[in-house]
Structures are given as C-alpha cells and as structure tokens.
Amino acid sequence: MVKISVLKVENPSCLWGAIWGLSGDVETSEHYKKLHFQMNLFYRDTTQDVCTLKPTSLEEGRVYVVYWAVKKSWFRAVVESIFVDSVSCQACCFLVDHGEKVVVPSEQIRLAMENFLQLPFWVQKFHLAGIKPTTLRVSLLEEKAELKPSARWDSSATLFLHKLLQASTLKEAVLLEPESDSTPIKLYVTVGDIKICVNDDLVAKRFAYYSTKSGDGLEEGDRLPINQQSVYIANVTTTQDNTTHQLCSR
C-alpha cells in the first residue's frame, strides 16, 4: 500500500493523482521542482532561437512544453485536441505534472527537449478497481424501482467521493496491474480514526456494484449491492432521503 494524493476527480472511474512512498517523498518532490526550474530557464532564455523550438505542426497525443498564462510558467503537457479557425490555432492540453486541462494558443507551445522527458509524468490516471456504476430505474407499471448497471456514474456518486476525500486526513492505495492508460486501485481513506475502503463504501451506499470484469478477482461474478436490489415505489423517497442524509453527514 502506498500513499497517494488525489489532485482531481472526474468520477470514480477517472481520478488524477500522484503516488508517494515509492521513494523518498522529499527527494521525489525536489526532482520535479528542479525539472520545472530548468525548463523555465531554458524556454525563457531570450538568446534561444524561438523558430527552432516551435513545432511546425501539432500532433494529438504528443508531449510538448506549453506556457500557462495563469501561472506565468512553462509546463510539460500532452495535446488532447486541436482547434483551428481562420484566425488562430489553439490546443487543449493536459498538464501531466499538475492534472489540469488548459487551452493555449499555438504560439505558446514549444517542442519538448529530450532532457525534459526523463522523469515520468508526476500525475497519473487511476480508476477504482472492481466496481461499476449503478442507476435507479423506476417502473411505474410494476410500481417498483430497481438498481441497474449504468454506463456512466451518477453525479451523486462523484459528489460522495469528493466529500469522502475532503474529509480524509490520509489517502492510501493498493496498486493493481495497469490497464491501457489507467491504473486500477483499491483506495483507502482515513477519516478520524476510521480507515474506509472507498471501493467498498461506494457499493455499500449503492452507488456501485462489484464487477469481475474490472479485474478485481471476485469469485461471485457481477453483482449489485447486497440488500434491496428492488424496492417498491412507496419506499423510493425514503431510500433517496437516506442517501442524501449519508452524503450530508460525511
């Protein structure tokens, strides 16, 4: 288990964060501070031939160094998409050491020198392993509501995760085998003197269900949260009120 800092949460299947504890925390942090300092010395150097540093064209998925006006500094970034019109060219970039998405004009994008690509990206993409989202579907004909698998996370699940992370004093993770561009994790947070497995808590609160397809090794197959997979419509309001109360109490 390693310490992890969660910088940004899009939903339980998309968290951006940094891992601590694989090496000295202070030493690791200093490496990235040094990299940032050296990059800014280089790209701010007025004696540099800017024409040789500007890319002749932009490629989606490629790493560049971009100027972020908000921080007035240069950062490593991956170009995610490009927008071209009759007046200008802009790119939506993901800052790989900060977990932020920014839109920058092409004039503020530079080629990344090889010596600035030696350190791995500070920010990584994670997803909570072994769980998938649920949604509450109401059948007026049968007068009942059922928890069903969903293709996307409900906003209340993401809000619950946000509140849990904000209330925690320590965040730890068990790293599993990376999948494509994301690493599955079992996320644990400490709230007060209680350690909570976030994956299990989302299932317990019925925001999610366990799924073997996420590679968690469960033996019982895909299953919805235990208890009350189906509830009568008369009880739906109570269930929703309880969920709201649980969110507010966190």
Task: Delimit the domains of the chain by residue range.
Answer: 22-116, 129-249
Share of the chain above pLDDT 90, in %: 64
**pLDDT higher than 70, residue 182:** yes
Q: Do domains 22-116 and 129-249 have the same CATH topology?
A: no
Q: Which of 5-9, 132-136, 232-236 is least confident? A: 232-236
Cα-only R_g, the chain: 22
> If you average pLDDT over residues 120-132, what whole number do you get?
93
- Confidence at 233, pLDDT banded by 50, 70, 90: very low
Q: Residue 59: which residues within 8 A CB-CB, separation 6 or more? A: 79
Between residues 26 and 192, the one the model is more confident about:
192
Out of 2.60.40.10, 2.40.40.20, 2.30.30.140, 3.30.460.10, the CATH code matching 22-116 is 2.30.30.140
- Confidence at 130, pLDDT banded by 50, 70, 90: very high
Find the DSSP H helices in 182-225: 198-204
SS3 at position 20:
strand
Calpha distance 195→84 (Å, rounded): 49
Strands 183-191 and 124-128, sheet pairing: parallel
Between residues 28 and 21, the one the model is more confident about:
28
Out of 3.30.750, 2.40.50, 1.10.287, 2.60.40, the CATH code matching 129-249 is 2.40.50
0.85 exceeded by pTM: no
- Neighbouring C-beta atoms of residue 109, cutoff 10 Å: 22
What pLDDT digit, counting tens, does each position of 45-101 carry?
989 899 999 999 999 999 999 999 999 999 999 999 999 998 899 999 999 998 889
64, β-bridge pairs: 77, 111
Residue 27: the pLDDT is 56
What pLDDT digit, counting tens, does each position of 62-74 carry?
999 999 999 999 9
